Structure formats: structure tokens, C-alpha cells
Amino acid sequence: MENNNNRPTQEQINKTLWEACDTFRGAFDSSEYKNYILVFMFIKYLSDVWKDTYEEYKNRYGNDEELIQRKMKRERFVLPENCNFNYIHEHRNDPDIGEKIDKILAKIEDENLAKLEGVFRNISFNSEKLGQTKDRNRRLQNVINDFAKPALDFRPSVLGNKEDIIGNAYMYLIERFASGAGKKGGEFYTPHEVSVILAKLLSPRPGSRICDPACGSGSLLITVSEEVKEEDGTPSHNYALYGQESNGETWALSKMNMFLHSINAAQIEWGDTINNPRLLEGDQLMKFDVVVANPPFSLDKWGHENADSDRFKRFLRGVPPRTKGDYAFILHMIETAEPNAGKVGVIVPHGVLFRGSSEGAIRKKLIEENLLEAVIGLPTNLFYGVGIPAAILVFNKAKGENTDVLFIDASRDYEEGKKQNKLREQDIDHIIEAYRKFESEDKYACRATMDEIRENDFNLNIPRYVDTFEEEEEVDIMAVQKEIDHLEKELTDVRKEMKAYLKELGFDS
């Protein structure tokens, strides 16, 4: 065991990882090279854990190599011979290093099909995306050398078995890539503070099945899982995670994200959630205790043409507009929530709250069925690549006799940033406290009755319920007049004094 002082800190790991990205900066967009960095981090992690595990068995069983290999094959993943970072580092100057890395990834996937099947199919280190052969080899040599730095030693014996450091570093990189890549990069990441709000709003319990049908890189799903607590408040690992993602590259990020967070049993499917839902039990949609998502805002071409014949009957309340798929995701999420028990938390653009036509009809039915529990308005510019404000809708299939809906206007509470605004801890706490109290709060929250919502024609626009108008202070006319008179007298005195000075200087006229 190495000395604690030699353990790299979270900050050192994050900094070194971000510096490794310099190899690709300027060559092509971060939305492209992020996959190479994240996959390389994944290989390094697997290699270091595998090496540490072997040394631990070696210390325990000595020269009994047969027993050691039997033990190694029972670990949560298997690395074939010469399929590790050390081998890659030794061969970093080979002219075919890109091809060697691709073959190593293929072998790792073949040995771990149950957990890693398809994860590396969308990436090639021998691709011309990395440049012509000479440039490609130079870039790969640089990134291999970067990952050989002591700060990126991911062995548990060095990290002190705190493998959450690796998961945190992976999330750090994903967020940095999202913030720097505009809309294309941000579409797969929900800012951590917003994820925390959703997790606390939905409060998953031990034993919960938790699903994100638009899971992106999996960060939101992981944050929600971290909110699962035992009765004494300690973290619980008694939950099951499920997700689906339509983008193959982003799906691979999610699979690796789960692995790096030691979440081994997560079921993350690749496919279009609306047109090809993959989370099924028999021929029915799987049901979940908690369903959470940050789906793409107002998705065009979401599958309107197939909605009427949907075999899962998700659109009985109405078919969303052809060019806006927000309610397609909402209806899917509600349909997959456990009857009489499930909760749904979904991030939406504000148009979802008030747009008419088919969306208005769907919204009316959801409210009349007493499914909607809360509407929470967030500040502008929280999401990467999206400057418009968003809202959180909370649906609850266990509302019981309470038919009221809580409206929260949290749009004014945030820390302003150069690129993105950020929710502070006190802003998050205020939202959660107001939600749990479920009471009106002056200029912040309103507990609205079904009749009030009906009077507003089922329009959920938050200013209709939460009055944030600030009255101006009454003006004391007499005091203002006295101040004017005083200022005029001072001006007259100054003019007299100025005239005297001018006369002394010979400017009498």
C-alpha cells in the first residue's frame, strides 16, 4: 500500500485529464474527440484495476497461478492477455499503434459481452478522423504518454479504494465537454445541480426501479440513484437502474459511466425510445417506481406518423404535434410509471405549459386525471447550448385525494456565469423545501386548486399563479418638493459664487 500522501487528489486527476485533451484541441471539435479521451480513460481504469487485483491475489496465493487465474475470471470484468494499458504504452511508437488499440478493444468487448457488448463499436483509433498516419500516430503517442502520468494512476491501492474518484473524474470530463461543445455537446448532459433537484424531488426509496428513457451519458440516472437512502440516512445500493438512448456514441458513454461508478447491473438499451422502446417485460412496457428525464426539447420528426398505431397505447390522451415531441416523451414516461405508485420528473421547455391545440388537450387530460403534482420554473441559461428557461414537471400516480398543484417560480435565484448560469446550494434547498411543504409562499410558490387551473383554461404558465410583481415604494411628493427647493437654492448660490469669480478674472460681461 502506498503512502496516503502519494494519492492523487480529485483536482489533480481532473486537471491532468483535461490537459490530455490538448492532444486533440485544434485538430477537430470536442464533440468528436471526447469519445477518444473517455474511452482511453476507460481502458486505463480497467487496466489499473486488473493489475491491482492480480497483485492482491498474488500476495494471497503466491505462485499458485492456476488458482489466481480462476479467481481473476470471476471478477466483474476480464482482460485478455496483452489487452491493457501497459501493453499499449510499450507499443506506443509502433507504426500500427491505432490498429493495435482497435484490436485490444475488440478483444476486451468479446470477453465481456454481457456488460460491454457494442460499447466500442462506434470508435476507431485507426480512423482518419485522427489525421493521416503520421499525425495520427503522433497524437496517439501524446495521449498515451499523458495517461501514463502518475496523477492518472487509477489503481485502488493508490486511490485508497475510493473508486468514486474515477466516476467523478469521468463526470467532470463529460461536463467539460458538454460546456465547450455547444448544443451538439450539451444534448447528452444535464447540469449536475438540476440532476440533484430531480433526485431530491422524486426521493427514490430502497428497492426502487429507476428509469431514464432519454438517458444520454447516464449522469442524471446516477445522480438520482445516489439519492436512495436507508431509513437512517445512509446511502443504499438497493435499487435497479434502467435507461435508453438513441445516439450510439452517447449510449456507449452511458455504459462506461455506469461501469466506472461500479454500477454493474444497470440495463442501458440503445434505440429510439418513442419508436422502438427496448425496456420491455414480455410484450408490455416495463414499469418503474421513478421515471426521470431531460429529453430533447421540442424534437422534430419524433414519430408522429406511427403514434396512432402505437401498440403500447401511449397516445390515447392525444397525439402530440408532428414537429414537437415534448408530450411524446411525457406520455411515454407516465405510461411506464408504476400504477398508483410511480413518480415522474421531466425537464421541459416552457411552451409545454401553455401551448394549445393537441398539446392543450393532452395537458387538460393529465391534469383532470390528477397526475400533475408540481410545476417548477428554472432560471435561464442553465443548460448547455440552450439559453431559454426550462421547467420541471412532477407527475405522481399516488396523489390520492389531493387534487392541488404546486407552482414554484425559482427563475430569479441563481449565480450568474459567463457562459452558463448556475444554481447555488441555497437555490436548490429553497426549491426542495417549498416542494415538501406544498404550501403557497409569497412571490415564490402557489398551491393552486383544480378550480383555479380550470379557470385558467388549463394553462400552466407560472406567472398566472405565482405573483412576483414588486410594488414600487410610495413617493412622498412633499419630501421630493422640499429636496427640489433645496437643490434650486444651492444652484442659485453656486451661480452667484461663480459670477463673483468671473468678475475677479476680468470676465465681468
pLDDT value of position 493: 84
CB atoms within 10 A of CB 322: 14
DSSP letter (8 states) at residue 375: E
Q: Among 220, 172, 123, 188, which residue's Cα sits nearest to residue 9? A: 172
Contact 492, 484 (CB under 8 A): no
CA 23/CA 36 separation, integer angstroms: 11
- Residue 269 backbone dihedrals phi, psi, to 5 degrees: -100, 155
What is the homologous superfamily of the domain 4-180 according to CATH? N6 adenine-specific DNA methyltransferase, N-terminal domain (1.20.1260.30)
Q: Is the pLDDT of residue 342 over 90?
A: yes
pLDDT value of position 478: 85
3-state helix, strand, coil in the chain (%, to 5): 45, 10, 40
CB atoms within 10 A of CB 3: 7
CA 177/CA 194 separation, integer angstroms: 18
Q: Is the pLDDT of residue 188 over 90?
A: no
- E strand residue ranges, 143-207: none
Q: Is the pLDDT of residue 508 over 70?
A: no
CATH number for the domain formed by residue range(s) 184-298+310-464: 3.40.50.150
Find residue 280's DSSP bridge partners: 285
**350-to-341, 353, 380, 408 alpha-carbon distances in Å:** 27, 5, 11, 13
Render pLDDT for 247-275 as a digit per residue (tens, 0 to 9): 998 999 999 999 989 898 899 999 999 99
3-state secondary structure of 419: coil
- Residue 13 backbone dihedrals phi, psi, to 5 degrees: -65, -50
CA 284/CA 26 separation, integer angstroms: 48
pLDDT value of position 264: 83
Task: Read off the pLDDT of each residue in 14-33 and give the average, rounded to a whole number.
Answer: 81
Q: Is the pLDDT of residue 505 over 80?
A: no
- Residue 270 backbone dihedrals phi, psi, to 5 degrees: -110, 120
pLDDT value of position 185: 40
CA 350/CA 379 separation, integer angstroms: 11
CA 436/CA 197 separation, integer angstroms: 12
DSSP letter (8 states) at residue 332: H
